[in-house]
Structure 1
Amino acid sequence: MSAKLNSNRYLPRFVDRLIERKLGYIGAVEVRGPKWCGKTQSALQHASSWTMMQDPDKRQDYLLLANTKPSVLLEGAAPHLIDEWQDAPQLWDAVRFAVDECDEPGRFLLTGSATPASAPSHSGAGRIASVDMSPMSLAESRDSTAEVSLAALFNGETDCSGYSECDVEEMAYLICRGGWPRAVTLPDKEDSLELARDYLTTIAEQDISRADGVSRNPQYARLIMQEYARVVSSQATQASINKDLKNRDIDLSRDTVNGYLAALRRLYVIQELSAWTPSLHARSRITKTPTRHFTCPSIAAAALGIGPRALLMDTSTMGLLFESLCVRDLRVYAQVLGGEVFHYHDESGREADAVVQLRDGRYALFEAKLGSAFADDGAKSLLALKEKIDTTVMGEPAFCAVLTPGGYAMRRNDGVFVVPITCLTA
């Protein structure tokens, strides 16, 4: 069996660049993210040997070895992959020790779809580097024309051009399908929509109780994910989520709800967007509450029990899930550039759905709008925020952009870019 067995069907991921780079300078690389997002296949593109902890024929032997002689599970040509290492958390310390013993880069790859309930004895700092992986962006799933580069916009490119035929109907499908590699490659659209629903069922009925060994009610898990889906792309507080559950006669204590949400974070199912705190000309209270997001908007659609047609009939919900899709893709593209994604909202109502900030301090402001007809509103909002930022401290934003489902990419007369998310790439 070859590590490149599925190479002909493998759709390259942006995270591959990060894995390759980190293997060149550090002893071990951990690839972490939600299950089914493609971690194992990506890791196999770089591995020369592997140990699959969830192999049903060998699982019990592997767990026994992990407790008695973990070094046996590390044997194999480098880079050696240990898939789903969190099933035996002691392997983290074994890998760390092995790297200390032989200080060579690129020895191990680890994948994990959950944060282990019991933390390893050592952090792995300086020995193990972590790479976060998301479900596929539209560029990776080949649903983007990839004519507009985020890197080029940051580097001052002003000749922004491109065209996507994606309309709101197609976008509704892309939201509900999500970026799950298996869904992306299925030829039947109806079948591809089932993956997110199956994912939700697996999380609610199995994984949420396995995350930390605490038995949880699948019905409550579904209801909590449904309530979380109702507040996607908003700064709803955890207290308001608890209150909304009580208003629906779901009488769970705050600690219980918090426990479910913590388990969903541990499984990389939910992934909040932190607030950006720039220096401003005028004093203003910035909302520090994170924006609520699932790791893929398809989970929200599945939790709400809606498909593309129902989503089209509810433009308010579709707008929020479209924003969440844009955040997912910006996270993937920004990661390649060494950047992070935030949100901004203040008491005066000025906001940016997403702020991408690079390590060198450059930043860009984004608004997500369901069509180019709403680009004016998005541009006005971004320009109003731009005027409020103290550029003597922060510098001018590298650019401002309104993200739409499809249509033409262009630079407006006011300098704001209009970019279909289905034209964007890293």
Structure 2
Amino acid sequence: MVAYVPRVIDGLLDELADLRAISIHGPRGVGKTSTARQRARTVLRLDTERDLERLIADPGLINMLERPLLVDEWQAWPESWNLVRHAVDDGAPSASFLLTGSSPPQGARIHSGAGRIVGLRMRPMSLAERGVSASTVSLARLLDGSAEIGGRTDVVLEDYVEEIVASGFPAIRGLPARLRRAELDSYLDNVVQREMIDQGYPVRRPDTLRRWLAAYAAASSATVSYEKILRAAVGGEGPQPAKTTTVRYRDALTDLWLLDPVEAWMPSRNHLERLGRAVKHQLADPALAARLLGVGADALLGRRDAPRPLRDGTLLGALFESLVSLDVKVYADNAEGRVRHLRDAKGRHEVDLVVERDDGRVLAVEVKLAATVRDEHVKHLHWLRDRIGDDLVDAVVITTGNEAYRRADGIAVVPAALLGP
């Protein structure tokens, strides 16, 4: 049996252990079941005919099995969610239930679970979870203003590119490169040909959906409109699908947790005006984007045959930002921070990631595909500091360099491999 690799969400689950029911959701293959099994004494796997039939035949089984009880792939029978909710209402003690899976099929009638079932999102593995390098700079400490900036890593650009294409899916990333590519292609085929249908979204033209996904991947780390993504997907070939069809694609892929966009930051105080509201597009894992676009590590590094993205700049830069965004989201969830981005309405100023605390103060993060940081790389961070003053807790540039340090102007510089929870 493969040894369990600890995840950042484990610490959060420990903190929330006294809750009566927790749902762990996220895309298929991120390790939800493996993580939940570390805490469960009994498992009901609803993706197996045996356990599904047992529970349907005897719903009272939910109250008879030893707890903590893991209801795995609960969306295979959405009524199982309601059974857990009722058990909580009836006085289930702490640490009774864990649920893992994705969203229920379209049209399924389930209660929201508010006040009974607490949801936690699980994402593909961050660089810290992958063990790429020992992290020395804590995002939680950056967010509370007490970070110590230091450390050195031997990770270089080629290593980051390898991590982009390797993926953060535990069962895929350790495979030989050829098998890994085949698994990622199979993953995407399964989404188009099966999972969309299971969610209640019939796909009449799989090729159109696949092209839409590729166009979305090309828009990684950009704020282009969905209309522009649609035009890129069609590319003048065949009839253009109705806008309602592509909206359904987006909704279904969101339900499957495959889209992980970064929402625009709208500050709670009136420091800034006329900010853009467009989301920054990200897939759940940059490896999926790379496979959709048909590029591997050599193409990204040499820029040979790399498709032109839907914005100025290199595809490698966009995917590196996706990788860092994945890390920051994982660490911010653990620190109770919300990840957003900032861009003014005219595009003159932007900050790649803004991590907001519950009191409205923020950590600003710029992502640079560079080993060294120049003054031009921090100009937007200075602009933001001038605008919001003490509401800026800290500011950091994430790089591909080797050393973490703080500049004379107070901006922290941290290699991606050294950032951790």
With the length of structure 2 as denominator, give the TM-score of the two structures: 0.91
**SS in structure 2 at match of 1:386:** helix
Structure-2 separation of matches of 1:420 and 1:206: 39
Is 1:302 aligned with 2:291?
A: yes
Q: Is the 1:31–1:112 contact (alpha carbons within 8 Å) kept by the matching residues of 2? A: yes
Residues 96 and 240 from structure 1, CA distance in 2 versus in 1: closer, same or farther, beyond 3 angstroms?
Answer: same
**SS in structure 2 at match of 1:419:** strand
How far residue 73 of structure 1 moved from its aligned partner, in angstroms, is 4.5
Aligned to 2:359: 360
Structure-1 separation of matches of 2:108 and 2:386: 45
Aligned to 1:161: 150
Q: Is the 2:52–2:77 contact (alpha carbons within 8 Å) kept by the matching residues of 1? A: no
How far residue 193 of structure 1 moved from its aligned partner, in angstroms, is 4.3
Question: Number of matched residues?
Answer: 410
Query: Which of 26, 34, 38 in structure 1 is aligned with 2:31?
Result: 38
Structure-2 separation of matches of 1:335 and 1:243: 34
**Amino acid corresponding to residue 23 of structure 2 in structure 1:** E
Please list the CA deviations of residues 27-62 of structure 1 after superposition, one character each: whole Å capped at 9, or x if unmatched.
Answer: 211000000000000000010101011125x16624
**Amino acid corresponding to residue 342 of structure 1 in structure 2:** R
Aligned to 1:423: 418
Q: Is the 2:201–2:248 contact (alpha carbons within 8 Å) kept by the matching residues of 1? A: no
Residues 90 and 370 from structure 1, CA distance in 2 versus in 1: closer, same or farther, beyond 3 angstroms?
Answer: same
**SS in structure 2 at match of 1:214:** coil
What fraction of aligned residue pairs are identical, expressed as a percent? Answer: 32
Please list the CA deviations of residues 379-417 of structure 1 after superposition, one character each: whole Å capped at 9, or x if unmatched.
Answer: 12211222123x3xxx33111111112411110111111
**Amino acid corresponding to residue 189 of structure 2 in structure 1:** T
Aligned to 1:276: 265
After superposition, where does 1:316-327 map in structure 2 within 5 Å? 316-327=314-325
Q: Which moved more, 1:224-233 or 1:15-24?
A: 15-24
Q: Is the 2:259–2:282 contact (alpha carbons within 8 Å) kept by the matching residues of 1? A: yes
Structure-2 separation of matches of 1:127 and 1:279: 29
Residues 195 and 161 from structure 1, CA distance in 2 versus in 1: closer, same or farther, beyond 3 angstroms?
Answer: farther
- RMSD (Å) for aligned C-alpha atoms: 2.1
Aligned to 1:21: 15
Is 1:90 aligned with 2:85?
A: no
Is 1:217 aligned with 2:216?
A: no
Residues 296 and 289 from structure 1, CA distance in 2 versus in 1: closer, same or farther, beyond 3 angstroms?
Answer: same
Q: Is the 1:274–1:342 contact (alpha carbons within 8 Å) kept by the matching residues of 2? A: yes
Please list the CA deviations of residues 212-231 of structure 1 after superposition, one character each: whole Å capped at 9, or x if unmatched.
Answer: 25244332221111010111
**Amino acid corresponding to residue 164 of structure 1 in structure 2:** T
**5+ unaligned residues in a row in structure 2: which ranges?**
304-312
Aligned to 2:398: 403
Q: Is the 1:367–1:401 contact (alpha carbons within 8 Å) kept by the matching residues of 2? A: yes
Residues 195 and 147 from structure 1, CA distance in 2 versus in 1: closer, same or farther, beyond 3 angstroms?
Answer: farther
**SS in structure 2 at match of 1:162:** coil
Structure-1 separation of matches of 2:184 and 2:384: 36
Structure-2 separation of matches of 1:283 and 1:340: 18
Q: Is the 1:410–1:418 contact (alpha carbons within 8 Å) kept by the matching residues of 2? A: yes
**SS in structure 2 at match of 1:408:** coil
Q: Is the 1:32–1:39 contact (alpha carbons within 8 Å) kept by the matching residues of 2? A: yes
How far residue 372 of structure 1 moved from its aligned partner, in angstroms, is 2.6
How far residue 168 of structure 1 moved from its aligned partner, in angstroms, is 1.6
Q: Is the 1:375–1:402 contact (alpha carbons within 8 Å) kept by the matching residues of 2? A: no
**SS in structure 2 at match of 1:222:** helix
**SS in structure 2 at match of 1:366:** strand
After superposition, where does 1:326-405 map in structure 2 within 5 Å? 326-346=324-344, 347-389=346-388, 391=389, 395-405=390-400
Aligned to 1:129: 118
Query: Which of 280, 285, 288 in structure 2 is aligned with 1:291?
Result: 280
**SS in structure 1 at match of 2:405:** strand
**Amino acid corresponding to residue 407 of structure 2 in structure 1:** R
Aligned to 1:10: 4
Q: Is the 1:74–1:80 contact (alpha carbons within 8 Å) kept by the matching residues of 2? A: no
Q: Which of structure 1's runs of 4+ aligned residues deviate more than 4 A?
A: 279-283
Residues 43 and 158 from structure 1, CA distance in 2 versus in 1: closer, same or farther, beyond 3 angstroms?
Answer: closer
Is 1:139 aligned with 2:138?
A: no
How far residue 422 of structure 1 moved from its aligned partner, in angstroms, is 0.5
How far residue 243 of structure 1 moved from its aligned partner, in angstroms, is 2.5
**SS in structure 2 at match of 1:342:** strand
Structure-2 separation of matches of 1:381 and 1:408: 22
Q: Is the 2:143–2:357 contact (alpha carbons within 8 Å) kept by the matching residues of 1? A: no
Query: Which of 156, 161, 164 in structure 2 is aligned with 1:172?
Result: 161
Structure-2 separation of matches of 1:19 and 1:116: 26
Structure-1 separation of matches of 2:156 and 2:374: 15
**Amino acid corresponding to residue 22 of structure 1 in structure 2:** L
Aligned to 1:47: 40
**SS in structure 2 at match of 1:9:** coil
Query: Which of 303, 307, 311 in structure 1 is aligned with 2:300?
Result: 311
Q: Is the 2:46–2:52 contact (alpha carbons within 8 Å) kept by the matching residues of 1? A: no
Aligned to 2:309: none
Aligned to 1:61: 53
Please list the CA deviations of residues 280-322 of structure 1 after superposition, one character each: whole Å capped at 9, or x if unmatched.
Answer: 8776421101111101111111110111111113370000011
Q: Is the 1:139–1:425 contact (alpha carbons within 8 Å) kept by the matching residues of 2? A: yes
Structure-2 separation of matches of 1:71 and 1:159: 52
Aligned to 1:235: 223
Q: Is the 1:284–1:348 contact (alpha carbons within 8 Å) kept by the matching residues of 2? A: no
